[in-house]
């Protein structure tokens, strides 16, 4: 059976009219699908009668000097992956059908959440994410929407938006899927050479140092961050952008781990920007 592919909100809505009495799960993506995405599809398939996957390379979330033009695009392969995963329909809107224009109404989450971590260097990124995710939620109107925990700042911001704007959807965070080396799976990993991928394994390895200390009841943020930095220093090719320990919900920095906390990192290998995180204090 061929997987139905819709390119406009109106087409998708016509399809969903027959399924509104059933539970609908949405997995928003930018394509270049990998095993991390497939884990989201599997979770959505298990929890919903109908699974919709969207593929939209969102221009609003890319800065002027970022990789919008070269971001991996493989629609035919992505369609096959979705079909094999049991996805019910694929939504691949165009920029025009998503209504993106110069005077577009945009969604702005609390600035304190958007300006930290990735938002410190990616001005406007999370505003672009919030706007398109909100549009997708309004178009599909799912019971549940699925996001990877690797993009922890994105996940926290979307949860806040849904709560603050009373959008009737459950936001489901799914665990990060990793390569055997520990490197978090990402569409941008395609940019890395085999050597670069090997070097990038230091990111998760360094986070694990803090996780080990936290398991031994270390709660001082500076000591936990120092353990990460020491391990990062073993790979000189890694260029650190930020390393922060923040509150899991508000994304504000903390000095002491007395509840669940997010240890987040971003940096570059071979010019490719990579992010990762772990949750400590459980």
Range list of H helices, the chain: 9-16, 35-47, 75-84, 111-114, 125-140, 152-164, 194-200, 202-215, 221-232
Distance CA 158, CA 147 (A): 9
CB 185 within 8 A of CB 35: yes
- The DSSP secondary-structure symbol of 184 reads B
Distance CA 190, CA 195 (A): 12
Closest CA to 157 of 242, 30, 244, 250: 250
User: CA 105 → CA 16, 161, 163, distances in Å?
Assistant: 25, 15, 19
DSSP character string of 148-181: ETTSHHHHHHHHHHHHHTT---EEEEEPPPB-TT
Is-catalytic flag, 34?
no
Determine phi and psi for 281, rounding to 5 degrees.
95, 10
Distance CA 77, CA 37 (A): 13
Q: Which of these is catalytic: 19, 34, 37, 46?
A: 37
Structure tokens at 264: 């987040």
Catalytic residue ranges = 37
């Amino acid at each position: 059976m061929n997987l139905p592919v819709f390119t406009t909100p109106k087409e998708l809505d016509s399809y969903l009219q027959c399924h509104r009495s059933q539970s609908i799960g949405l997995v928003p993506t930018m394509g270049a699908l990998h095993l991390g995405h497939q884990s989201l599809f599997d979770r959505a398939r298990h929890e919903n009668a109908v699974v919709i996957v969207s593929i939209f390379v969102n221009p609003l979330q890319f800065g002027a000097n970022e990789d919008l033009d070269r971001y991996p695009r493989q629609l035919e392969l992505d369609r096959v992956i979705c079909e094999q995963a049991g996805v019910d329909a694929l939504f691949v809107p165009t920029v025009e059908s998503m209504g993106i224009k110069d005077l577009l109404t945009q969604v702005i989450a609390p600035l304190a959440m958007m300006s930290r971590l990735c938002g410190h260097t990616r001005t406007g990124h999370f505003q672009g994410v919030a706007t398109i995710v909100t549009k997708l939620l309004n178009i599909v109107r799912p019971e549940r929407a699925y996001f990877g925990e690797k993009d922890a700042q994105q996940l926290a911001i979307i949860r806040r938006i849904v709560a603050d704007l009373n959008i009737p959807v459950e936001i489901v965070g799914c665990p990060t899927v990793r390569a055997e080396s520990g490197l978090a799976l990402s569409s941008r990993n395609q940019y890395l050479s085999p050597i670069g991928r090997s070097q990038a394994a230091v990111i998760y390895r360094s986070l694990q140092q803090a996780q080990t200390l936290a398991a031994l009841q270390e709660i001082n943020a500076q000591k936990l961050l120092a353990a990460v930095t020491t391990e990062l220093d073993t790979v000189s090719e890694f260029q650190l952008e930020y390393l922060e320990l923040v509150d899991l919900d508000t994304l504000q920095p903390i000095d002491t781990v007395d509840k669940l906390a997010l240890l987040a990192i971003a940096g570059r290998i071979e010019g490719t920007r990579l992010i990762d995180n772990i949750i400590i204090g459980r």
